[in-house]
Structure 1
């Protein structure tokens, strides 16, 4: 018996293919009904997404950087103009404080603060240097900007610790041995300094100026009650300094070394033997008292 013909075999194949296709068609329809998967964060868009649907990160960062740079330039220009180009922040006044002997007018004149200049451009260090050089009485000065229009000068004046008589006038000397002013009359409560070199080897070695500085060290170290009663600090050599008090009392001080320890010893001696005439603290560990 003859087999099926070619046409029949072809028909059977087509029938099987259609049946297989109809069997797989439900799976494709369920996948087609699912919503599209959203793109991952920070990742690349899925294939097939339309171009230009989201901005490029690099382009956005570049745009933000450009805007930030432009804003910084504009802000810096505005600040520079406000500080240096405008008339808003200019020096119009000079305030002086801390003076006792000097007058504010003397300080302003010596300072030469450039009125009308931008406050930000004022050289405060140069002002302080001018004051210290021109007014020897000034020991220190703080120069500060007082926004928006002022300069403040806070002065610390030197305090005289001893007076050196010369030509009928009195030279004021501070605790560092600096001669800073000359006055016509001696100040109350400030001892006079008398240098009487004895020709000893110490005088030839140190000289008169060094002896003066040693005497000033002694004057600065005296306890306040003793300093008020001191008339004369007499210097004959480096290690021969005596302090002459009211009532004919004398303190043998020795050199200016260990002056703090000598001052403490003197305070104790005055409490223990206040009626004595002579106090020797040249060796503070072994003081001596005599006279009554």
Structure 2
């Protein structure tokens, strides 16, 4: 008995010869199945991706069915839709919104800006901002029509009649003398922008009464009001100071017929 193995030692030898220890419980049951679980997960993700692609490109559920337009005033919604050329029936996700925006700005100059967005699952939304005319220019050689000019100096549309409440821009530019030099130096477009700049600086009460803005040169812009009074404004520079001087001058001399604020620190009035 003394030289024989004990029961405990016999059990240890049995464990030593049985190889790596076996996993037990939940860990043992899940271990051999890990490759199978990964395969199932990969197949599920593949099916999900395929389903998403089908939903976006193949399914009729996400194709363009309608085009909504907002913000129009002079333009009609039909005009905007026609110029936009939205590909109705195509997958919504593949619509090139930048191309639609470019087409609208190119085909309809009256549009100042436009926002093109997708409205899931079936729509394209066109939010339009139209240009607002601040001056109109009589179009020479075009049957007495007028060209609308916005606050950026952009000539964007031709109309058959002068718009009520919008001053007429008269370019009284001589081809000789100082006026010719001004025209050569600044160009007609720059002089138009100066007239727009002056119109934007006018006091509200005066702006509503202006009938004509005359531009003789860069330094010679004058105004004719609806009641026959006139204002010598000068250049478009120091517009804020000139507006304040004109407001004060009109209050101080309400019966005057002519006002000169070309030098705002020394305004003058005349006539009665």
Q: Which band: TM-score by shorter chain?
A: 0.7 to 0.9
Report if aligned partners of 1:139, 1:156 keep a CA contact under 8 Å in 2: yes
2:23 pairs with 38, 44, 52, which one? 52
Separation (CA, whole Å) in 2 of partners of 1:207 and 1:185? 27
Aligned to 2:158: 182
Deviation of 1:250 (Å): 1.4
Q: Which has the larger radius of gyration?
A: 1
> TM-score scaled to structure 1, two decimals?
0.77
Aligned to 1:230: 210
Deviation of 1:273 (Å): 3.6
Residue 45 of structure 2 corresponds to residue 72 of structure 1: yes
Q: Could you say what secondary structure the match of 1:161 adopts?
A: strand
Aligned runs of 1:32-181 on 2, under 5 Å?
A: 50-53=21-24, 54-55=27-28, 65-166=38-139, 167=142, 168-181=144-157
Change (3 A) 1:240 1:62: farther
Separation (CA, whole Å) in 1 of partners of 2:202 and 2:262? 14
Unaligned runs of 5+ in 2: 10-17
Deviation of 1:95 (Å): 1.0
Separation (CA, whole Å) in 2 of partners of 1:58 and 1:275? 102
Separation (CA, whole Å) in 2 of partners of 1:48 and 1:259? 97
Change (3 A) 1:239 1:73: same
Change (3 A) 1:66 1:228: same
Residue 186 of structure 2 corresponds to residue 206 of structure 1: yes
Separation (CA, whole Å) in 2 of partners of 1:61 and 1:254? 86
Separation (CA, whole Å) in 1 of partners of 2:151 and 2:227? 26
Q: Could you say what secondary structure the match of 1:88 adopts?
A: helix
Change (3 A) 1:226 1:63: farther
Change (3 A) 1:57 1:278: farther
Deviation of 1:67 (Å): 4.4
Report if aligned partners of 1:189, 1:227 keep a CA contact under 8 Å in 2: no
| More deviation, 81-90/199-208 | 199-208
Deviation of 1:90 (Å): 1.1
Separation (CA, whole Å) in 2 of partners of 1:95 and 1:56? 59
Separation (CA, whole Å) in 1 of partners of 2:162 and 2:246? 26
Q: Could you say what secondary structure the match of 2:62 adopts?
A: coil
Report if aligned partners of 1:171, 1:181 keep a CA contact under 8 Å in 2: yes
Deviation of 1:249 (Å): 1.3
Deviation of 1:217 (Å): 1.6
Residue 225 of structure 2 corresponds to residue 248 of structure 1: no
Report if aligned partners of 1:190, 1:227 keep a CA contact under 8 Å in 2: no
Separation (CA, whole Å) in 1 of partners of 2:30 and 2:269? 94
Deviation of 1:58 (Å): 8.1
Deviation of 1:63 (Å): 5.9
Aligned to 1:21: none
Aligned to 2:173: 197
Q: Could you say what secondary structure the match of 1:247 adopts?
A: coil
Change (3 A) 1:180 1:59: farther
Aligned to 2:249: 269
| More deviation, 205-214/157-166 | 205-214
Per-residue deviation, residues 110-162 of structure 1 (Å, max 9, x unmatched): 11111100111111111111010001111111111111111111111111111
Report if aligned partners of 1:98, 1:154 keep a CA contact under 8 Å in 2: yes
Aligned to 1:7: none
